[in-house]
Chains A and B, each alone.
Chain A
């Protein structure tokens, strides 16, 4: 019962946050200087033409009406129509959703797979040169802009060595082999940067475990260092790691936007950048809302997961 109530509370907060976020995004797009219809038609358009377009797009109706219409439309995947191309926004988003989802979806598990052993090793060997080296490497990886790393990777592996295609995308359905080849560099770049970030948290988490009583007891009863850390350390680290991974989703989405630009991948990020360029506000508004929703939804799931991993939180009270 308590678990259910705690989960319900989180759900309410999540839905409320989504609602407020949508309002903020909508209002920001409304606060634009200049007339959307005027921008779409160009500066030379006659006032009558502009007025006509305003009528067609329903721009003359009250703000509240338009907000609720937009919100209601999104509930059944109607994001309105593109102001530039005229086609429904959802048709522009759908083919691109897969690219970004693959990038983020592959990067999260892979970077954990790299970060956990990396952090564990650097925590265990922290007083030796090799551990310090790993730590230093993670500092360097953290400072490298993801687009720079991507550009260098493409320079080395695609241009110089010609092992992999430099850019472009094939869908998985078209050709799984081509798809995999074209995902190696973008995903690899994201994983390097992400795992350097996560490894630092993993390292801190394991170092904390080293000073815990239960770890000392395990050691005293004859367990080896590694066994103690892996059997006891992992579980205790899981909670904080889950939180960090949740928070990282937003930075991964940002990373994906940049990586799509580097490797010319037709994902949500490149759609967003293009739409800003052509001032296609309906598309910008829809994609930003979608990305913010994804971040909030994943944070909500992380909250639930947290509740499941850490029994202490189930007693309620904590937000």
Chain B
């Protein structure tokens, strides 16, 4: 049963990655090529039909997987690169700074990714990059809090005391003793945040605050689809988003259960 979570997660997320990789070298059509064949149904050679500009949906769906993965990787990367060191640093004992960081985290936490992205889009214009950066920034507090909490647990271990007594520099302690011990936890969080980022970007694209129409992105495809005349054009990217989000969610859950048997019953 629990293995099932991991397997389904691996299959779904693996499929998305595979499609993205294939689209790098091959798609049935040029995903940005406009044609007069508008709102074509599901038929050969356009197996998933065409959209309102006559662009091939299957090709756009495949290339869209790249956009989705890129958004996830960049957003989680930004959040982790800033949040984790900050969390470890604060967790290793800096009371004053700790309070400041905690408050800053609270404020950022109250500012949902969407609002941040709207502010950024209003400031520098809407693009996949602004959306991704906004989502990444909004995710920093999650990594900061988790890294801090995990570091606090690790800090009470005897091997940290031993390292300190031996005169190991704090930076080396952080790198060699703390980071490897909290890495599994952060990895699981990364998977969860990855799917959150995908979902957030899709929402922004739907509002017209991320990808422009030319860029193949799933949320944007949903926005441009006319659900009354060609419902299929909305359903296909919608399902793609759901598969990717569920895949990475289940992957995170599955890996967590696999790593820590005590957590298996929880959630």
Residues in chain A within 8 A of chain B (CB atoms): 13, 16-17, 20-21, 24-25, 28-29, 31-33, 132, 139-140, 142-148, 151-152, 154-155, 159, 200, 203-204, 207-208, 211, 250-251, 253-254, 257-258, 261, 272-273, 275-277, 279, 281, 284, 288, 291-292, 295-296, 299, 319
B103 close to A146 (CB less than 8 A): no
Closest Cβ–Cβ distance, residue B236 to chain A (whole Å):
11
Q: How far is the CA of A50 from the CA of B29 in the complex (A)?
A: 48
Interface 0/1 of B237-254, CB less than 8 Å to A: 010011101100110000
B238 close to A148 (CB less than 8 A): yes
Q: How far is the CA of A142 from the CA of B9 in the complex (A)?
A: 14
B209 close to A253 (CB less than 8 A): no
Q: Which residue of A lies closest to B239 (CB)?
A: A148
Closest Cβ–Cβ distance, residue B43 to chain A (whole Å):
21
A152 close to B238 (CB less than 8 A): yes
Please tell me if B255 contacts chain A, counting CB pairs below 8 Å. no
Q: Which residues of B contact A208 (CB under 8 A)?
A: 266
Q: Check A155/B227 contact, CB under 8 A, given A204-B266, A251-B112.
A: yes
Q: Which residues of B contact A152 (CB under 8 A)?
A: 234-235, 238
Q: How far is the CA of A277 from the CA of B115 in the complex (A)?
A: 14
B121 close to A292 (CB less than 8 A): no
Q: Which residues of B contact A140 (CB under 8 A)?
A: 242, 246
Closest Cβ–Cβ distance, residue A77 to chain B (whole Å):
21
Q: Which residues of B contact A21 (CB under 8 A)?
A: 107, 110-111
Q: Which residues of B contact A277 (CB under 8 A)?
A: 208
Residues in chain B within 8 A of chain A (CB atoms): 1, 102-103, 106-107, 109-115, 118-124, 126, 195, 199, 202-203, 206-209, 219, 222, 227-228, 231, 234-235, 238, 241-243, 245-246, 249-250, 265-267
Q: Which residues of B contact A159 (CB under 8 A)?
A: 227-228
B203 close to A254 (CB less than 8 A): yes
Q: How far is the CA of A139 from the CA of B126 in the complex (A)?
A: 31
Q: Which residues of B contact A275 (CB under 8 A)?
A: 122
Closest Cβ–Cβ distance, residue B220 to chain A (whole Å):
12
Question: What are 15 A-B contacts defined by CB distance under 8 Å?
Answer: A16-B103, A20-B103, A29-B122, A139-B249, A139-B250, A142-B246, A145-B203, A148-B234, A155-B227, A208-B266, A211-B265, A254-B114, A276-B121, A292-B110, A295-B110
Choice from A16, A145, A250, A291 contacting B242 with Cβ under 8 Å: A145
Q: Check A32/B123 contact, CB under 8 A, given A145-B199, A146-B203, A258-B206.
A: yes
A276 close to B112 (CB less than 8 A): no
Q: How far is the CA of A33 from the CA of B246 in the complex (A)?
A: 38
A142 close to B249 (CB less than 8 A): yes
Choice from A17, A143, A204, A296 contacting B245 with Cβ under 8 Å: A143
B195 close to A143 (CB less than 8 A): yes
Q: Which residues of A contact B102 (CB under 8 A)?
A: 319
Closest 3 CB pairs of A and B: A148-B238, A143-B246, A143-B245
Choice from A17, A29, A147 contacting B106 with Cβ under 8 Å: A17
B219 close to A145 (CB less than 8 A): yes
Q: Which residues of A contact B124 (CB under 8 A)?
A: 32-33
Q: Which residues of B contact A250 (CB under 8 A)?
A: 109-110, 112
B1 close to A288 (CB less than 8 A): no
Q: How far is the CA of A275 from the CA of B234 in the complex (A)?
A: 26
B206 close to A147 (CB less than 8 A): yes
Q: Which residue of B lies closest to A127 (CB)?
A: B1
Closest Cβ–Cβ distance, residue B193 to chain A (whole Å):
14
Q: How far is the CA of A284 from the CA of B112 in the complex (A)?
A: 15
Q: How far is the CA of A142 from the CA of B250 in the complex (A)?
A: 11
Q: Which residue of B lies closest to A254 (CB)?
A: B114
Q: How far is the CA of A291 from the CA of B115 in the complex (A)?
A: 9
Q: How far is the CA of A251 from the CA of B199 in the complex (A)?
A: 12
Q: Which residues of A contact B266 (CB under 8 A)?
A: 204, 207-208
Q: Which residue of A lies closest to B247 (CB)?
A: A143
B103 close to A17 (CB less than 8 A): yes
Q: Which residue of A lies closest to B225 (CB)?
A: A151
A145 close to B206 (CB less than 8 A): yes
Q: Which residues of B contact A272 (CB under 8 A)?
A: 118
**Which of A16, A204, A284 neighbours the largest number of chain B CB atoms within 10 Å of its CB?**
A284
B107 close to A207 (CB less than 8 A): no
